[in-house]
Chains A and B, each alone.
Chain A
Amino acid sequence: MHRESFPILKKDIIYFDNGATTLKPFEVVEAMEDYYYNYGANIHRGDYDISLKASNKYEEVRDKVKHFINADSSREIVFTSGDTLSLNMIVFGFMEDYLNEGDEVLLTKSEHASLVLPFMELAKKKKIVLKYVPLTSEHELTLENLEATITEKTKVIAVAHITNVLGDVRDIKKITELAHQKNILVLVDGAQSVPHLKTDVKDLDVDFLTFSAHKMLGPTGVGVLYAKEKYLEAMRPILFGGGMNQYFEEDGTVEYKSIPTLFEAGTPPIAEVIGLGRAIDFLEEIGMDNIYKYEKELKEYLVKKLENNKKVILYNKKSESGILAFNLEGVFSQDTAIYLDHYNICVRAGNHCAKILKDELNIRNTCRISLYFYNTKEEIDKLVEVLEKSDELYKIII
């Protein structure tokens, strides 16, 4: 779908690393270029026309994001430098005050470093307890296991909506239902889900949601932090500077602005936010439901084809997203990735920033294929064909 918008696809490249970052359509880059060339002023500052235009465009994107994830108000949308900063802001600006010694935070072993590490640091500081909810034999999170891990001390559940190695889709709505009955907050990392399926924060009833623009056609350097207004009001900024204060005095008196501006110290990534806005338009033109349906269809096709190859080990056949982790029997994942690169097929090799997942899989490294709507069955056929003749692998890479 819409391959003509992606200049890089004209270069005979097969891009299967969308979990790392997606390709950028011409329209997104054009919107950023338009800002830089035609109204490239700072925002919230000048009384002149192009500064007002830049401010309006920037704030329009906040509304776009609000509609895109169906938030109650644009006040709940904070622009950050990406998913990692969003998560760190929540952990060190909110959780640090909210959690007390002995309180428990539930995670799983398939979570990304950006979710686990801030909590690990906080655990050292505040003596909170991190618990990992056991996963099933298919490495998935079930409501039963989650419920069984909850104790009276459990205050927060922090999980990805879709995990980045195994691509399993969590039933967030059921999780929040269960959590909220027990006064537990739910933080959802949407980095791998918001780009791929319709995310409705009201319907899911999540308390916090984070994601990055660059995994959804947008530029690098910008992400979103969503929190229910009452929690955002209770959150402290962790970055201080221009743009976020009302006034400050020599004696230390300072008054900060209100949410969400309070959390956007310094000149924000203006062009990038504008690019994100165009990316959202692009995704909505296709329709998030169509994107999800198409990716699932591609994944099923990919699994069906690869199952015929005895040398291929698949780790997550059943997960309902466009992510497939695999290895070639007896071959180190990186060697497989280098072999595929020889045919201009881009896949990721490694532990994919989920370093503790090795305990679950009994294997440290995998190759990961992560699909997006511009991938095709023809590209999958090419991958399957190249993996079929992998007896030649060492001839190619050495």
Chain B
Amino acid sequence: MTLTTAEAVTFHDLSGLMSRMTGAEKHGPAASSTLDALWVLYDRVLRVGPLSVEAADRDRFLLSKGHGPMAYYAVLAAKGFIDPFVLETFGRYDSPLGHHPDRTLVPGVEIGSGSLGHGLPLGVGTALGLRAQGLLDPAVWVLIGDAELDEGSNHEALAYAGSTGLDRLHAVVVDNQSATHGWPGGIASRFTANGWSAVTVDGRDHDALYEAYTQPHQGRPHAVVAVVEPKN
């Protein structure tokens, strides 16, 4: 596959971009569990691009679930943040693209992640920091996994953001049912019980994702639970 910035990139190009990292033709559900959720965010929702990665009023996307970042890198390459040729260096000593992302190495990557449970607290601080500087428009999005939600740090952030109505904060929970003990009562209920707006959608349905992402949620942070195929 060739790809230049002049060509319009579509969702169907992402598989080819991921192949440049793996060398494989096809990718299992685990590697691509976040692919649709990420694509719809970057293609239709986030107001950030390669030229605005330093702009104070950009939207922030924080990949908290740093595991399996190939889908993330593929979307960043498709949107022009990363040269597609760099994808082929994935995981090498001198590559900016590790198996967990490092924000200091990749333009457009807002946080370094890998250890689970750090994105949502960082997102809370980011939303507070923007508000304190009068930047009331930028949205902060944090992507976490259903198993990542096991980490207690998420619940500190979740409770605080809900109680204080931190409405520029958004969470996307990609649910591939990989949490060892599950979430009886559903993941969305953890958010709504804490004062969030929350909606659960098919994580492969782009229009449903878009509708969920753009649902009004005045005065409350907003969570979108994107359900995909079970990991196991």
Q: Answer yes or no: do A and B interact.
A: no
B positions within 8 Å CB-CB of A: none
